[in-house]
Amino acid sequence: MIELAVTAAIAFAVTIDPIGVGAMFAGLTRSADGPHRRHMAVKGAAIATAILLVFAVGGELLMGLLGISFAALRIAGGILLLLLAIDMVFARPSGIRTVTEPESAEAGHRDDISVFPLAIPLIAGPGAITSTLLLMGKAEGDLRHQAVVLGVLVAVLLATLLVLLFASAVSRLFGVTGINVLNRVLGVLLSALACQFVLDGVAESGVIAG
């Protein structure tokens, strides 16, 4: 159970990336006043939480309807997370958990960025959704293990909200270099975790012995 909690903490901390999201939020809301910025932070975090919890609770049903096995999800999800990890190690912007330049330009003209791009894709992006599905699948229906995954997810989302509320101060504290160094370290950990997901998926598929 402790191993699952640590795995979930690493996966969610990397794919949601509270520090990185906070830095981008600070940049996108530079011209907003304090109350409006706090309103967007709370609203965006709440919407992202609802989205991820829906995937956590209903992900297995959705996969069943689409005819997707957990083995296939582990392999595809592992590859997706590996691509994200590579971008993190090389400090490259990734569409998996950040917005593209056209999306950033569009967000710059919005008065309220709580839904887009804050909730989606900055917080509840493809990487976070994939991690949620993979980790809930790893729990294998055990209610205690599922509770651990959900608990860690909520804790990371609360940490994200806290960072958003103090985004300007956090951004100044870490700076671009500090954020890149942190991302590189987490990227190495995520790459190993992603490879493990792929190996687990291949073993579960029966292609090779586990």
Query: What is the reported pLDDT for 140?
Result: 82
DSSP 65-127: HHT--HHHHHHHHHHHHHHHHHHHHTT---TTTS--HHHHHHHTT-S--IIIIIIIIIIS-HH
- Write down the mean pLDDT value for the chain: 88
Query: What is the reported pLDDT for 97?
Result: 61
Residues 16-60: tens digit of each pLDDT: 999 989 988 998 898 888 899 999 999 999 999 999 999 999 998
- The mean pLDDT value for 115-119 works out to 92
Calculate what percentage of the chain has a pLDDT beyond 70.
90
Residues 19, 21, 23: CA angle, nearest 5 degrees = 70
Assign 210 a pLDDT band (cuts: 50, 70, 90).
very low
DSSP 35-56: HHHHHHHHHHHHHHHHHHHHHH
Residues 75-95: tens digit of each pLDDT: 998 898 898 888 888 877 766
- The mean pLDDT value for 129-151 works out to 93
| 68 touches 52 (CB < 8 A) | no
Query: What is the reported pLDDT for 40?
Result: 96
- The mean pLDDT value for 127-137 works out to 93
- The mean pLDDT value for 105-116 works out to 77
